Structure formats: C-alpha cells, structure tokens
Structure 1
C-alpha cells in the first residue's frame, strides 16, 4: 500500500498480476500504462520499479475502467508468486500459519516495502495487522482492499476452516460500496476500527497445517534467502552502507564505530537511521557478506581462507558457521552443488 511519505521508487514485479486482473475485470490495461509512462518490460521484470504516485494513479485508473468487478478485490484475488515461486512453495508447505507469516518479511523486501504486516496477539485472538496509523486516502483504501483480498485468499488455501472464525477490520469509514465487502470476503467486516487487520483465533496460529512438507519448506526458505542476499538495496542509507561494504569489504569486520566514522555519522545515529528503515546493522553486514560470498564461490579457484579474511571474519571456521546459518550448507558443499 503506498504511504504518503514514501518517495523512492518501489519494485514492480507484480506487473503481470495487474495485467491479469485487468483482463478479469474486462478492460485493457496497456493504454493506462502507456498514458502514465509505466515501463512494461517482462524481460527485466526483477529490475522494474514504479513511483508511488504512478502506482496510485494506475490503481485509480483501473478502478474507473473496471465495469464488472471491483478491481482491488480482483488484484488481490488473482495475485500469485509467479515470478517468486520459492515464496509460493514456502507458503504452501508451511507447518503453521505463524510460520507462514514469514512471507510478509520477504514481500516487504522483494515486492513492496510499504507492506508491513505484523502479528498482534491478545487474549484468545490474533490479528494480522497492517502497520501505519496515518490518514487513509482513497488510493490507500484500494491498496488495503487488494492486500487483504490476497491475505484472505492465501489464508483459505492454507486453512480453509479458519474463515468460519475470522473477521476483517478496517480503519476507514464504510465506502459507498461497503455491501460488496461481505459479499466478496464472506466473513464479517467492520469499518471505522482502530486498525486494518484480519483477526483469527489465536490458537490457529500454531495449529498444524495439512500441507506441511518440512524438506521442501526448508529448501524454499534457503532459496529465498539466497535471492534476498543477492539483491542490492537501491536507495537510502542502506544502499549507501552496502555500497561502502562492496567497495571496502574489510570494513565488514571492523565494527559499527569504524563504519559510522567512515560515513561521517555517530554510531547511535547510524543505528537509529537503520532502525527507521526497519533494518539492523548486523542484518546489513550479514546480507552483504552472504552476497559477496555467493559471488566468490562461483569461482572454483576461490580460496576459502582468503575469502573468510576478505569478508572480515576472524577465521575460516567463523565464516563456515555463518554461511551454513545463511544457506543451510557449508561453503564447500554450496560450491560442489554449483559444479554438478
């Protein structure tokens, strides 16, 4: 969901989903994209971005163009991880709903940084809540509708019986088409609530799911985390920090005080600004180390001792432990797999 204060371009890997939803709603989305100057390059989809204003304008245009169904509902209903199949596999093989919610962290990283879903638990109820308490505009409402349409869809896929005890809450006043909500979602819906959330019985978060498949689930998680590690940040302080590490990997082992000084910041300021971007210093260091290690291990001549030192580890054993934690296999095993 676009947030008013977010000005950086965001990934647009969901472009095919928009095209599919428009087709279901009975209109051609190409003229809308052309009018708004939105690039449509499927060959480089992973690099595609879109500005928040353009995304909001596209949503409003699609809502206006749809004559048969409410476009945001269809956009959420037709969403699938077509270009991120490992996330789809992770979700489908999750042992519990609580474990499945890990997907929201990846969605925020790979699809939309403004989708910040958190679990809130109180008494015998739990809620998947969309963070953010600002005023909700018309455009925001459409994206909230789309997001919860997708959440309900995947919730039914994982645990169809849970919807009999589920309900939806929205912070905004009932729109003039409010009757369409319960007809579409088929669960109780309340407006003018303190939060935007899907509420379910708390006990269901940890109840076993029938689709659980531990081996595939673990493999999918490793593949997604590898992809995240290889993905550079495009903007902001995190991008600056990653660029410094890429240029001078030795800084990875020097500690936050040295790195903050290199950036001209006080260590507490660096920590605070990273926290403002929902990141930690250790998380950035791990991600860059993992990315650089993945690149280096593609070369069969890479010496693991020198690689460990280059990435700022105290010794090879520390590097091996860290790489195993990130990928599930040792550096040597990872390289052997690539050579097979």
Structure 2
C-alpha cells in the first residue's frame, strides 16, 4: 500500500513509523497489528488522495506474495477451489479477517468479515482486500475475470468511477456486506496452473501450518487486535481476551511479560492508536470515539487521551485537519 501511494508520500518514513526497516529483507511472516496498519493508511490519507489507493494496492498483489497459500490458490483445479482455500486457510496470514464462500442464487458470495469500528484505515483495507482477491483471480483464470457485483458496507467516495472501471462491474456501497458476487461460470473456470498432485501436497502443508498456528510469535499482535475488537463493549478484561486466544489469564500475563508488555499497557496502546485513527475521521463525534475506545464517559476519554498525547482529542483533531 505504501508503494501504491507512489511519490506523493515519504515511503521510508511511513515504513519506519510502524517499525519496518525500509532497507530490510522482505519477510512475509512479519505482521503488523491491525490498528497499526489502519493508522498507517490514515497517515497516507493525510498526504494524498486515497480514492483509488485500495485498487492500486490490491492490483499489485501477486499469488507468490502469499507463500504456500498463494501456490495452493494457483494449483486449485478451478476458481471455486481457489476461493475455498482462502476461506479455510486465511488464518495463516491474518488474525483479524475471516472469509466465507456463501452460495447465492446468482452464484456465490465471497464475503470478507472484519470486526471492529469502521475507521478510515479499516475501510481502505477492506477495499484493498476485495481488490486483491479480484487481482489474484485474474492471474489464474483462463478468461478475463470480473465479479458480477462488488458490495462494500461503507459510504461511497466522491466518485466511484475508478472502482467500477477496475472491478469491471457495478460497485454497490452502503451494502450490508463486504463481498464479491461471482457467477457459477467464473467459479467453474479451470485454473491455468491447476495441478491435482501439487495441490494435494500443498494442502497437506497448509493443514500442518494451520494446526500449529497457536505456536507462532505474534501473540502481542493477536492480543492487540482482540482488545481493539472488544473495546466498544467497555474496557476489556484480561481473562476474556485470554480465553478468546485459547489461553488462561496467567499464561497471557506470562507471555506478554516475555515481550516486555503488561496487559494494561497493551490496552492503553491499543486505545490510543484506535482513538488517533478515529479522530482523523470527522464522521465520528468525540462522544462516539469515547464509546468505541471503551470509555463510559467522554470526560474520561479526554483525560486519558491528554495523558497519552499531551493534548486534548479536540486539539489533536484540529491540528490534524490543519496539516
């Protein structure tokens, strides 16, 4: 996404701001917490028009960027098989998105499920995810591929001509889903590189990875994402977050300590990042942001934000609008 933004942004500074070395080696196993990624996209939005950024970002994705899952996508016998594999194995590259391939009277809906407040960064990310799914389908389909329709839950940008031109179909904003509607004919298209033998091998590899997913090193990121999703119901309890991660509260405390973090510090960090992202979106009032970040009163939110950022939420929003 940073590369897709082009020369309008300082790519090196943006990457460094989220702890990525611009000169470091490419490592697809390095993950950013969702709130950090959304904040990155929101910083890009402050510097340039992002109307078609998700389309450019999604279009740049290649099957090989997804490792074994990308190979399994290419090796599936048909496009239905490719989408089905994303539905099953998406947890190997994301902890905050679930995919569903749902039958529909006109074919099938490939649905993106992502919980949490629909801040600008999330909205841009959702559009980019749908665009990347279409890009990957075009890379394996023997015929030109376009969905029948694209559904997007949030409001439309000032113009959606770029979206409809790139997707090659109607794009319906303010829909009840984030999804691609795909025809039966497209789903049945044999993939260019479909190979049953390679496919079986890759599936066994992915199943093994999936079974060991609880042992990866992304606990802090997973906990942060779980906290962000729970905040709209109030300040989350460590026991509840631990349970959602398949851990006891004691185990979560110990493993966070190994990373030099406490649950309270992680919650405060998540709240701050979420608040800063929401403050950049003027559709949310301060009272709404207080609620979405887990505060029962706006005054409590204001005090906490002033402690984090050294200024009030209103001042932070005003300064951001002026830059």
What TM-score, normalized to structure 1? Answer: 0.56
Pairing partner for 1:189 from 150, 159, 171? 171
Aligned positions, number: 226
Equivalents in 2 of 1:230, 1:83: separation in Å? 21
Q: Deviations over 1:11-57 (max 9, x none)?
A: xxxxxxx454344x6543111233x3423384583553323332111
Higher relative contact order (CA 8 A, sep 6+): 2
Alignment partner, residue 30 of structure 1: 12
Gaps of 5+ in 2: 224-239, 247-323
Helix, strand or coil at the partner of 1:131: strand
Alignment partner, residue 205 of structure 1: 187
Alignment partner, residue 235 of structure 1: 219
The structural deviation recorded for 1:159 is 2.6
| C-alpha spacing 1:46/1:165, structure 2 compared with 1 (3 Å) | closer
Pairing partner for 2:95 from 113, 124, 127? 113
Q: Deviations over 1:144-201 (max 9, x none)?
A: 1110110111122233647456210111221223232112222111112121110012
Gaps of 5+ in 1: 1-17, 240-269, 280-340
Runs of 4+ in 1 over 6 A off after TM superposition: none
Is residue 2:26 matched to residue 1:39?
A: no
The structural deviation recorded for 1:63 is 3.3
What TM-score, normalized to structure 2? Answer: 0.58
Is residue 2:61 matched to residue 1:79?
A: yes
CA contact (8 A) 2:149 2:170 kept: yes
Alignment partner, residue 43 of structure 2: 61
Equivalents in 1 of 2:89, 2:44: separation in Å? 23
Instruction: Give the number of the structure whose alpha-carbon radius of gyration is greater.
Output: 1
CA contact (8 A) 1:63 1:70 kept: no
User: Pairwise CA RMSD of aligned residues?
Assistant: 3.5
Pairing partner for 1:124 from 99, 103, 106? 106
